[in-house]
Amino acid sequence: MARGELRIFLGAAPGVGKTYTMLEEAHRRAERGTDVVVALVETHGRRHTGAMVGDLEVVPRRTVRYRGAAFTEMDLDAVLARRPQLAVLDELAHSNVPGERHAKRWQDVTELLDAGIDVLTTVNVQHLESLNDVVARITGVEQRETVPDAVVRAAEQVELVDMTPEALRRRMAHGNIYQPEKIDAALGNYFRTGNLTALRELALLWLADKVEEQLDKYRADHRIDTTWETRPRVVVALTGGPEGETLIRRAARTKGANLMAVHVSRNDGLAGADPARLARQRVLVESLGGSYHQVVGADVPRALLDFARAVNATLIVLGASSRGRLAQIFSAGVGATTTALAGTIDVHLVPHELAAAGRRTRMPAALSRARRLAGFGAVVAGLPVLTLLVKVGNLSLTNDLLVFLAAVVGVALIGGLWPALLAAVSGSLLLNWFFTPPFGRFTIAASENLLALAIFVVVAIAVSWVVDTAARKTRQAAQAGADAQTLATVAGSVLRGTRPLIALLERLRETFTLDSVTLRERDTVVASVGEPAGPADAEVRVDDNLVMVLRGHPLEASDRRIVEAFAAQAAVALRQERLTAEAATAKPLAEADRMRTALLAAVSHDLRTPLASAKASVASLLSADVHFDDDDRAELLATADESLERLDRLVTNLLDMSRLQAGALGVTLIAVGAEEVVPRALDDLGPDGRTVLAHIADDLPTLIADPGLLERVLVNLIANALRYSPAERPPAVTASALGGTIELRIIDHGRGIPKDRWDDVFLPFQRLGDRDNHTGVGLGLALARGLTEAMGGTLVPEETPGGGLTMVLSLPSGTL
């Protein structure tokens, strides 16, 4: 049985028309003869969306009871039994009621697809798992329901239902999305123009990445390796030289392009590039929004082009050659070879200062200075002794040549190229003087002897060159391995720990046995390890502002490159620590901004309701056009009084929450009895408070609290319990001692809350499914927990046996 196909309608925000467009597609498919059923559609009271269902067959929903409340969900078994060709199922990210076969609706969709049923569904960009935190930072609203990106990316089709922010706000203002009483708050909060613009951009970019994945898959399936210029992608080739920064900045000026920098390492494991410069250039690339890559290859141009074709690059940027004319005669160079083999990929050769001046690379010595001196000493002392021994041995010229050739190889192994060249030249002269007729003269009588000496010199020089080159490569490989191990340790130091900069500097000090390492920014010490006493032995400049100062001993030239790599990573670590600090500073500011936005939303709606009610009552009493009898007058006065009391509670809660957020709430802790505070809290609740059952032991110890704040906490908790408890089972308040604490329990017998949502009830402006928008701004429990913690106590929920929720308020017992 073939698996069904999934088509998803993606939107940037609620109200853009995802469900409407999905139903349009369902009608088109039905008109073409497809067997279509509506498994579940959420109209949210939108008239046009509801009408769009039309004559489509609708599978009845299944009613699910949970904690005393009734919920409706899709009847998955009924849809599977009906076996349509196409099922229409709204809101892919929806969480099912606990106890259902699947926790998430996208899992229901997976089962339908496995059964061979095609599915049309919808999702908003804020519900995508990878973007959930980004959307929360932009809008200040965290989405609890998410769907894994892999589920959406696996869909056969993802269609964007797009709408400009201005058009969406007009649709909202006309009442086509939310109910009239919610419009002002929505337009001033989530549906601000900036929020909608950012969400739209996120949706477009996410879908562009999805389209790019599909294109890459198509190209791979059809083995297309030519470049398709669907999107500008620039690859910068870095050698580790100082011209790299010029190339990166030049490439970054290509408008709208994806920037990728790549360094091709030799596959023989030898060090060729400056790791410090590469580290700095990587930071520059990433700061410009690009990505850094490293590939290995023996043929640099081909490795570069293979990478460029793999990423579908449209442009390669290289530095102009700085090689001399003689070198270019023997080899075309990377730039020329890349240009010749690039095909349809554009290649830009960017001139730079080194190309104009020419660059001479000093080949590093294969052996140490001591080894080279030992080689010269072997030539000066050893060749005369060898000549004497060979003379005494009275060998043939052929054997004489072999003995001196062996000596040259030995000198090459000891001292490298230059001592070996001296040995070859000196050996040829000694052979000519002592062993080639006529003896004692620098002349050669026989032509075959001349040829033998000439071959000796050539072979000796060639062998010396090979031995020297092998020694040089061995030393470079060993150095490259040591550098790689050290740099890996550096990277690990940056990634691990809460203070990566200090860890990195300490690693540098240990690696090079230094007394101290200090990182200075202009004249300010940013970080330091060890005892920074005495003058600096070395300074390594990181950039225009940062300098690393080393004390302990001077640096060897061979160590300076790796120290520069440390310095470059120190700049990265410093930047990382500063970004972390800025993020920590920004978090409370963002929270304060979210609180401010929510306060404004509350003022725009929740405070307006009691104000309007009180104003209407007072205006009626003041009106001369209508005569009210005593009963009507008393009713209007009671309405005004009730509205003003509610307004007073709301304003008080808002002010207290603001003080809590600002840390400016005054708390006076004294010893107080629960039997004193609980009755006062019940009195504050008026007639409703008299229905609450209170059970407080007479011998209960006193507790430590601020009486006024504790009374406020109890009023909020009991009011919440009254709101959800059925009339026949009123809430109860109990008090008991447990160890060194007093536990006050506020027990209700309502529908309760799932355990995984217990923490959510303490979030400000959270009603958790409460549809009544006239009962406050959702601050009661958040304020109760904040006040409790300010008094040194705790407030946690528990499940009420038999159904409901119990709030456990714990405060220390004792006397002051």
pLDDT digits (tens, 9 = 90+) for 395-452: 887 788 888 888 888 888 888 778 888 888 888 888 878 887 777 777 766 666 677 7
**Rounded distance between C-alpha atoms, residue 770 and residue 785, angstroms:** 19
Average pLDDT score over residue span 563-584? 81
Q: pLDDT class for 481, splitting at 50, 70, 90?
A: low
pLDDT tens per residue across span 77-99:
999 999 999 999 999 999 998 88
Q: pLDDT class for 493, splitting at 50, 70, 90?
A: low
pLDDT of residue 480: 62
**Rounded distance between C-alpha atoms, residue 784 and residue 711, angstroms:** 10
Average pLDDT score over residue span 532-559? 82
Look at residue 577 and tell me whether its pLDDT is greater than 50.
yes
Q: pLDDT class for 773, splitting at 50, 70, 90?
A: very low
Percent of the chain with pLDDT over 90: 23
Q: Which of 5-14, 513-522, 579-588, 657-666 has the lowest mean pLDDT?
A: 657-666
> Residues in the chain, how many?
816
Amino acid identity of residue 240, one-letter, is G
Q: Which span out of 343-352, 434-443, 502-511, 733-742 was modeled with the highest average pLDDT?
A: 733-742
Look at residue 272 and tell me whether its pLDDT is greater than 60.
no
Query: Which stretches of 496-544 are DSSP H helices?
Result: 500-511
Look at residue 776 and tell me whether its pLDDT is greater than 50.
no
Look at residue 328 and tell me whether its pLDDT is greater than 60.
no
Q: With both helix axes pointing from N to C terminus, report the angle between 275-287 and 557-605 in degrees, rounded to the nearest 10.
A: 20
pLDDT of residue 7: 95
**Rounded distance between C-alpha atoms, residue 794 and residue 744, angstroms:** 11
**Rounded distance between C-alpha atoms, residue 234 and residue 293, angstroms:** 13
pLDDT of residue 122: 96
Name the DSSP class of 810. E
**Higher-pLDDT residue of 787, 743:** 743
pLDDT of residue 491: 56
pLDDT tens per residue across span 792-804:
899 999 998 888 8
Q: Which of 121-130, 276-285, 395-404, 482-491 has the lowest mean pLDDT?
A: 482-491
**Higher-pLDDT residue of 66, 337:** 337
Euclidean distance between the first and the last CA atom of the chain, given in angstroms as a whole number? 76
**Rounded distance between C-alpha atoms, residue 176 and residue 503, angstroms:** 58
pLDDT of residue 354: 57
With H, G, I as helix, E, B as strand and everything else as coil, classify residue 299.
Answer: coil
pLDDT tens per residue across span 690-708:
899 998 887 889 999 988 8
Average pLDDT score over residue span 116-143? 89
Look at residue 225 and tell me whether its pLDDT is greater than 70.
no
Q: Which of 25-39, 504-518, 761-775 has the lowest mean pLDDT?
A: 761-775
Name residue, tokens 């192994």: 413
Question: Token pair for residue 748?
Answer: 């209700």
**Rounded distance between C-alpha atoms, residue 570 and residue 573, angstroms:** 5
pLDDT of residue 317: 92
Look at residue 380 and tell me whether its pLDDT is greater than 50.
yes
